[in-house]
A and B are shown apart, each in its own frame.
Chain A
């Protein structure tokens, strides 16, 4: 019997949904306002050397990968299942566009984190 991929996709959707529900708003505030505008944080916090050192920490790598990948898979699954509601046919093309872009984003972020070194 062919196994369904639904539980995996649902799991990624749930994990991404939970992570973004718990931390999404604070993350947007930190990376979109606090860091670039220097609110509450020292002005050097967004400097190249500081950021490079931060990203080279294994825990930071894991966290960044989790945020980018899980957010992408969550959004892909939710958008794919909403296509029918806005009268877009959900064929192979839509499936590839949604889950394919999540997969590409996962691979790109993993590759960038590896290239940035430890």
Chain B
């Protein structure tokens, strides 16, 4: 007996379906797919930090351009930096950068080549911890330099 359904893959069958067909094949909705799984949410938040990094680069560039234009423009820029809007924005950026640091070193064991010390593979958790320690150390050095320079 002949099978009732032609023996072709579902996708190619859908493609030859005429436009006026009454058949409505199920297409999985893909809007906001990242909400389906906590793992996807972590991924999306990690990618979103790039917007914060970009915004900070734009802010620094804006300040630099104001400095270039002279004293009045610079004072206007500093005045804006003291507004609640700027402080709120920088608060959000601080959270984004902090999360970027955590997530960057969280995935570092997966993004870097395998590391061996004394013939044994260095564990992912250790790489993450070393990265975070390096971030703390680098931030403290930067802080010390700024304190030293502005003295």
- Chain A residues close to B by CB (< 8 Å): 16-18, 20-37, 40-42, 45-46, 48, 50-52, 54-55, 64, 67-68, 71-72, 74-76, 78-79, 82, 85, 87, 105, 108-109, 112-113, 115-116
Per the bound structure, the CA–CA distance linking A50 and B61 in Å amounts to 18
| B67 A79 Cβ-Cβ under 8 A | no
Complex Cα–Cα for A20 and B147 (A): 20
B: residues with CB less than 8 A from A are 30-31, 34, 44, 47, 50-51, 53-54, 56-61, 63-65, 67-68, 71, 74-75, 78, 81-82, 86-87, 89-91, 93-94, 97-98, 100-101, 104-105, 131, 134-135, 138-139, 142-143, 146-147, 149-151
In the complex, the answer to whether A75 meets B53 with C-beta atoms within 8 Å is yes
Supposing A31-B63, A116-B68 touch, asked if A71 and B134 sit within 8 A by C-beta, the answer is no
CB distance from A105 to the nearest CB of B (A): 6
Docked complex Cα distance between A31 and B67 (Å): 14
Q: Which residue of A lies closest to B105 (CB)?
A: A21
* CB closest residue in chain A, given B92: A28
Contact B71 A75 (CB under 8 A): no
- CB proximity of A72 to chain B, nearest CB, Å: 5
CB-CB < 8 A to B86: which residues of A? Answer: 32, 36
Q: Bound complex: CA of A75 vs CA of B104, how far in Å?
A: 13
What 8 A-B pairs are tightest by C-beta distance, nearest first? A32-B90, A75-B54, A78-B50, A24-B97, A26-B139, A21-B104, A36-B81, A71-B57
